[in-house]
Structure 1
Amino acid sequence: MQDPDDLTSKDDASRDNPRREFLSLLMASGFALAVQPVAASTLATDDAGLTVGAVGIPVGKEILPAYRAQPAKPKGPLPVVLVVQEVFGVHEHIQDLCRRLAKAGYLAIAPELYFRQGDARFYPNISDLLAKLVSKVPDEQVLRDLDATADWTLKNGGDANRIAITGFCWGGRIVWLYAAHNPKLKAAVAWYGRLVGEGAPNTPRHPVDVAGSLKAPVLGLYGGQDKGILSESVDRMRAALKAAGSPSQIVVYPDADHGFNADYRPNYHAAAAKDGWARMLAWFARYGVKP
């Protein structure tokens, strides 16, 4: 069931039309240009029994677009999962993952975390996307927008005592950072997110730098064949977590590559994706974030 913009303001005509256009675009979006054509393995989750669609989240004087999916007839406050986009933005795959989580009983919401800088879905290749858009997005902005998203869910049917986060690729790195940022978070699952790197103005710290500051336990899911996240960086992160006495864990699938849960891409590894999804739900439940 498609849901209209929850926060269309009748008394703010000066920005109402652009907001409607952005939210409508988000609801109608398919896959990012940089990943097309999509693979035959692409999965599609229907919205039967769900309330789905774009919502607008106030962040200061701006409106942050987000895709939300949840059970259509909840019996009470719902457990919340913040879903952090891949490098390609909140395109169809991320929306589908929200619907899968909603089918499992969660209020799942994926904010468009690049929205001030641009729309990732319209860059024709990943090189331009990284150089012209992603590199311009500050971590501080992202964490602030995730805070606003979490707050929005609590005013719209979410349970303040059951908040989790998951993210993929670019979003996997953000998950580790957010777990060190928000003390209200109960559990986190990071899928193949970068762990180490040089600091930069927009990305001053990386997961290995915050391993001792995590406020919620993180489950990291990684591919042993990932050419961008080498075993050395996984070993460094595991050592940092051990030194901090953290309950966080990292699971490596030896035969899986980067993006192994992305069923629309050639790197999709069905067995690892299925196992990772089950581990994610079990991790959430272990720390009290369950329907």
Structure 2
Amino acid sequence: MSDSMTTTTVTIAGHGNDEIDAYLARPEGAQSRGGVVVIHHMPGYDRATKEIVRRFAELGYDAICPNLHHREAPGAAPDDAAAAARAAGGVPDERLLGDVAGAIAHLRALPGSNGRIGVIGHCSGGRQAVLVGCQLDVAAAVDCYGAFVTGTPPEGFPLKVTNLVDQLPALRAPLLGLFGAEDKFPGPEQVAELEQILTEHGKDFAFHTYEGAGHAFFAVDRPSYNVAAANDGWERIAAFFGTHLEG
């Protein structure tokens, strides 16, 4: 744990070598350490997500969150940028992978990096964290109630998103999944399907479902916040990254 850190907005090279903003937090000290890429939720590159980035710095990691909506509305408020991204159908998977790859490269280039990078996302970011775990070189991935890793988006769903069933056999990173029993996207049946697929393919994963918790139970600024589930979830995340990002 670190009580002192530095935070700043940096520019990184994302997909197609586009320059995008990213929020970076680093604990003070010269010790070797791992890094964490935080993938923001659909509401965007907002205060709540930046607080998560700072929490990982407090836990002793270099942490970064790329602004996935930078191209739609550079310099705009998170709500406006998210609305523009939503109107365009969301962030394409290929672009997401390019932006996260740029964030990973930025972390690995920092002084003191041990080269071991984890990725975490909530809601849409949870699905994207699983995608990253399938496609990019990361040491660990955390899916916090990511919708449509399995299952099918309902009729009229505003985002152009498909499930990741065909990608799951390629999962190369250990995966931690945290879910709410009262959630609908993903519902318990979708979580069970994901567990079955990963088991059939011999993947390294651990899932935990919280009774009485719905979607967005980590969100401290929403009525969905569930204190017990969120506190236990943070303990599991810290232990999981502690296992896979040290050394």
Does the 8 A contact of 1:50 with 1:102 survive in 2? yes
Counterpart residue number, 1:20: none
- String of CA shifts for 1:227-280, please: whole Å, max 9, x gaps: 222111111101101101111122110111100001010000011001011101
The answer to whether 1:214 aligns with 2:168 is: no
Counterpart residue number, 1:155: 109
User: How far did 1:93 drift?
Assistant: 0.5
The amino acid of 1:280's aligned partner reads I
Does the 8 A contact of 1:80 with 1:158 survive in 2? no
The answer to whether 1:255 aligns with 2:212 is: yes
User: How far did 1:130 drift?
Assistant: 6.8
- String of CA shifts for 1:177-211, please: whole Å, max 9, x gaps: 000011x31111110101224499x9665233322
User: How far did 1:225 drift?
Assistant: 0.7
Structure 1 residues 257, 105: CA separation in 2 closer, same or farther (over 3 Å shift)?
same
The amino acid of 1:144's aligned partner reads G
Q: Which runs of 5+ in 1 are unaligned?
A: 1-46
Counterpart residue number, 2:223: 266
Alpha-carbon separation, structure 2, partners of 1:203 and 1:156: 35
Counterpart residue number, 2:5: 50
Identical-pair percentage: 32
SS at match of 1:178: helix
Alpha-carbon separation, structure 2, partners of 1:203 and 1:160: 36
Give the alignment's Cα RMSD to 1 decimal. Answer: 2.4
Does the 8 A contact of 1:117 with 1:137 survive in 2? no
Counterpart residue number, 1:176: 130
Aligned length: 238
Alpha-carbon separation, structure 2, partners of 1:83 and 1:158: 19
Structure 1 residues 241, 79: CA separation in 2 closer, same or farther (over 3 Å shift)?
same
User: How far did 1:61 drift?
Assistant: 4.9
User: How far did 1:99 drift?
Assistant: 0.8
Structure 1 residues 57, 238: CA separation in 2 closer, same or farther (over 3 Å shift)?
same
Does the 8 A contact of 2:30 with 2:112 survive in 1? no
Counterpart residue number, 2:25: 69
The amino acid of 2:36's aligned partner reads V
- String of CA shifts for 1:150-196, please: whole Å, max 9, x gaps: 101122235253211111111000010000011x3111111010122
The amino acid of 2:233's aligned partner reads G
Counterpart residue number, 1:89: 44
Alpha-carbon separation, structure 2, partners of 1:137 and 1:112: 11
| Larger CA deviation: 163-172 vs 51-60 | 51-60
Does the 8 A contact of 1:167 with 1:175 survive in 2? yes
The answer to whether 1:146 aligns with 2:100 is: yes
Alpha-carbon separation, structure 2, partners of 1:159 and 1:266: 37
The answer to whether 1:284 aligns with 2:241 is: yes
SS at match of 1:172: helix
The amino acid of 1:286's aligned partner reads T
The amino acid of 2:102's aligned partner reads A
Alpha-carbon separation, structure 1, partners of 2:246 and 2:17: 34
Structure 1 residues 207, 275: CA separation in 2 closer, same or farther (over 3 Å shift)?
farther
User: 1:87-126 residue pairs with structure 2 within 5 A?
Assistant: 87-118=42-73, 121-123=78-80
- String of CA shifts for 1:47-89, please: whole Å, max 9, x gaps: 96111021100235531100011113x2233310000001111
Alpha-carbon separation, structure 2, partners of 1:222 and 1:173: 12
Does the 8 A contact of 2:217 with 2:230 survive in 1? yes
Alignment counterpart, residue 132 of structure 1, candidates 61, 82, 87 = 87
Counterpart residue number, 2:146: 193
| Larger CA deviation: 97-106 vs 52-61 | 52-61
Structure 1 residues 142, 160: CA separation in 2 closer, same or farther (over 3 Å shift)?
farther
